[in-house]
Amino acid sequence: MGDPLFLDSRFTELYDSQAAWKRRREYCFYMELVMSAGSVLDVGCGTGELLHLAREAGHTGRLCGVDPADAMLQHARTRPDVEWILGDAASAAWDQEFDLVVMTGHAIQAIIDDENIKASLAAIRSALTEQGRFVVETRNPTLRAWEKWTPDHVSEFFDPNGALVRTWYEIDTVDGDVVTVTSTYTSSGWNQPRIARSSLRFLDLNSLNAFLSDAGLAIEEQFGDWDRQPLTDTSPEIITIARRV
Ligand SMILES: C[S@@+](CC[C@H](N)C(=O)[O-])C[C@H]1O[C@@H](n2cnc3c(N)ncnc32)[C@H](O)[C@@H]1O
């Protein structure tokens, strides 16, 4: 089952306004990697904005995005000079075709169960060329970011029509490393709030590294933030660059 937020066009039409790549702290980190790779697979590409920007910036090689949410891919498909595939990470069946595979926007956190994580990483490994690299990020659970996801932490952004949207989160459950959260969006232009529930897995460093290593992916570098700071217990992110073993 996919995340309801990304399966429903009432939310996906807001995604690029809320999470515009050019405003993100990780924008330069990923653009540098993507622009220097001959072929790129974006797993959990969502609305595909990263690959759109790469093409606009002059990337001439193969760019391919895969995502299980058709409502997200509808936005991606506005650029036909990139391949867009409907599917989840585990169903990817490429054989040594990509120099770079990325999973951005904490997409791996949407994969909850162990078997699905293993199948997804195995498929990603297969998709990598011999010297290819896989870049994956997850929020560092030591910071317990979800504890700040409360209704008094409201964010605001403008929707594509220029109407102000307010959004906040409320934690429903924390079950081991799986956090289930309700997202509420309101706007003066709507009759009622838009509400969706999703679950995210907060893998700790040891668990993440074990999944990668079991999948035949060797860690080349790990950073704690988008400026390539070393990873520490208090880093906000666990950003990993891995290679096929
Ligand atoms: C937070 S969005 C990130 C989208 C995009 N990568 C970005 O950085 O803006 C998470 C994406 O992961 C996708 N997703 C959920 N489960 C997935 C899976 N099993 N395999 C691949 N993608 C998945 C969702 O459909 C959604 O588009």
Q: Is the pLDDT of residue 34 over 60?
A: yes
Q: Which atom of ligand 1 is nearest to the CA of 45?
A: 6
Q: List pLDDT tens digits, range 48-66.
A: 999 999 999 999 999 999 9
What residue ranges define each of the domains in the chain, with the CATH number in brackets? 4-140+202-244 (3.40.50.150), 143-200 (2.20.25)
Q: List pLDDT tens digits, range 118-169.
A: 999 999 999 999 999 999 999 999 999 999 999 999 999 999 889 999 999 9
The pLDDT of residue 7 is 81
Å from CA of 67 to ligand 1 middle:
6
Q: What is the mean pLDDT of residues 75-80?
A: 96
The pLDDT of residue 168 is 96
The pLDDT of residue 151 is 95
The pLDDT of residue 46 is 96
Q: Is the pLDDT of residue 221 over 60?
A: yes
Question: pLDDT band for position 2 (50/70/90)?
Answer: low
b/e code 101-117 from CB counts within 10 Å (16+ = b) = bbbbbbbbbbbbeeeeb
Residue 206 neighbours by CB under 8 Å, 6+ apart: none
Nearest CA to ligand 1 atom 22: 44
**Is the distance from CB of 237 to CB of 140 less than 8 angstroms?**
yes
Q: Which residue from 140, 138, 109, 149 is spatially nearest to 235, judged by alpha carbons?
A: 140
Å from CA of 45 to ligand 1 middle:
6
Å from CA of 150 to ligand 1 middle:
23
pTM: 0.96
- Residues lining ligand 1, judged by CB closer than 6 Å? 2-3, 6, 19, 43-46, 67-69, 72, 88-89, 104-107, 110-111
Q: Is the pLDDT of residue 1 over 60?
A: no
